[in-house]
Amino acid sequence: TDPLDTEHIRADFPILQREFDGTQLVYLDNAATSQTPEPVIDTIAEYYRTYNANVHRGLHQLSQEASIAYEEAHDRVAEFIGASGGREEIVFTKNTTESMNLVAYAWGLAELGPEDEVVTTQMEHHSSLVTWQQIGKKTGAEVKYIRIDEEGYLDMDHAKELITDDTAMVSVAHVSNTLGTINPVSELAELAHDHGAYIFVDGAQSVPHQPVDVEAIDADFFAFSGHKMCGPTGIGVLYGKRELLESMQPYLYGGSMVRKVTYEETTFEELPWKFEAGTPVIGQGIALAAACDYLDEIGLERIQRHEHELAEYAYDRLTEFEDITVYGPPGDDRVGLVSFNLDSVHAHDLSSILNDHAVAIRAGDHCTQPLHDTLDTAASARASFYLYNTRKEIDALIEGIDDARALFA
């Protein structure tokens, strides 16, 4: 398989042509949100230009066209992540956070009690950490955190200690958005299942960047966001094993998710519509399917290899400096993101100086405050890469860091 032709790929992303004071944008904040290629923008525009209508209900031509495209988008996403059950196992939500909350409310509130434990990790994003913590408070279930070791890997011995017959749910990020660690989710799934627990995998940072097969992982639930994978904002996905989704009560009630309603009773629609109350994310869902096509056409293995090379390069360049601390695993064993701190410069100041160089990175806690406490820092700077990034852009990042160092010396 060939390396990526980044020049060609960059031409698909109009936003990358933007310049600030004559300097071309260097976009290294892809773990927060990725940019959108022309075919996806065209798909959204075509939807609004030619067949925008509400779905499921209408008998007119536009509604039929929109309904077919929207429903087929679920099948396309199912195929993208290896869900053989097709649309019935794919619920469209607003984002990963909503997918997480759907499971926490629809499954967690109903199933968890004071005798149960939820096992998660020290490196979870707030979307899962805060959600399980709060559901724990409501249900009395205890939430336990698998430790990370000094290099930023999960301590699997600790995982084996924590996951017991009292565990009802294991909830783990597939890839850490702060450390760049890839977690052994299949192994954790096996551990969970051996103890009769379910596993929820947060795939927000994996699905955009590597081939993912939810059935090979044996995930019971799996969530991710469209806006991190060349798709639009306002759409997320919850995959759930069919029997499990079938056994759960709806999370939101209202129109579209019902079959028969009387003043006294309601029966609910079949999967996945039972979980998509109200007018759903029609344009976004159709555009997400286009993003799947775009990524598949280029090839996720190639994208993964490209980002891996960039991450290794960035890691090597950043660790050349004694005054830079890089968090997480070594350069050859991480995904395409690097969080770090420069000794004398706060991450926010660094980000603002980099902005003067038209280099966009993230500064802050990246929605992992407890993890930052564990790392003994309030904030970090994070550069995160995608298919269109180049080594030259990492050089621009390093130049900006040099400038910040000189300014604060």
Which residues lie near ligand PMP (CB under 6 A)?
A: 31-32, 95-97, 125, 127, 173, 177, 202, 204-205, 225, 236, 367
Burial 128-159 (b: 16+ CB within 10 A, else e): bbbbbeebbeebebebbbbbbeeebbbbeebb
CB of 33 to ligand PMP, least distance (A): 8
In this structure, the number of other CB atoms found within 10 A of the CB of residue 254 comes to 11
Minimum distance of ligand PMP from residue 282's CB (angstroms)? 19
Catalytic residue among 143, 252, 367, 398: 367
**String of DSSP letters for 278-313:** SS--HHHHHHHHHHHHHHHHH-HHHHHHHHHHHHHH
Residues making up the chain, counted from first to last: 409
CB of 408 to ligand PMP, least distance (A): 28
Query: Cβ 121 to ligand PMP, closest distance in Å?
Result: 11
How many whole angstroms separate alpha carbon 361 and alpha carbon 397?
A: 9
* Neighbour-count burial of 287, counting CB atoms closer than 10 A to its CB (0-12 exposed, 13-18 middle, 19+ buried): buried
- Virtual torsion, Cα 167, 199, 135, 247, nearest 10 deg: -100
At residue 270, what is the residue type?
Answer: E
Pairing of strands 221-225, 198-202: parallel
Minimum CB distance to ligand PMP smaller for 228 or for 405 = 228
367 flagged as catalytic: yes
Question: 24 or 33: whose CB is closer to ligand PMP?
Answer: 33
Supply the minimum distance, in Å, between the C-beta of residue 361 and ligand PMP. Answer: 14
Q: Kindly tell me which of 108 and 236 has the beta carbon lying closer to ligand PMP.
A: 236
Count other Cβ atoms within 10 Å, centred on residue 189: 22
Closer residue to ligand PMP (CB): 234 or 331: 234
The C-alpha angle with vertex 92 and arms to 297 and 168, in degrees rounded to 5, equals: 110
* Residue recorded with tokens 């040099």: 402
Helix (H) or strand (E) holding 43: helix 38-46
The residue among 204 and 287 lying less far from ligand PMP, judged by its C-beta, is 204
> Which pair of tokens denotes residue 243?
């029997």
Q: Whose Cβ is closer to ligand PMP: residue 148's or residue 345's?
A: 148
Residue 200 CB, nearest approach to ligand PMP (Å): 11
In our burial notation (b when 16+ CB lie closer than 10 A, e otherwise), range 315-336 reads bebbeebeebbbbbbebebbbb
Q: How far is CA 348 from CA 290, 318, 378, in A?
A: 35, 18, 11
> What is the smallest separation between the CB atom of 112 and ligand PMP, expressed in angstroms?
21
Distance, C-alpha 74 to centroid of its chain: 17
Q: Which is nearer to ligand PMP, 112 or 175 (CB)?
A: 175
Residues identified as active-site: 367
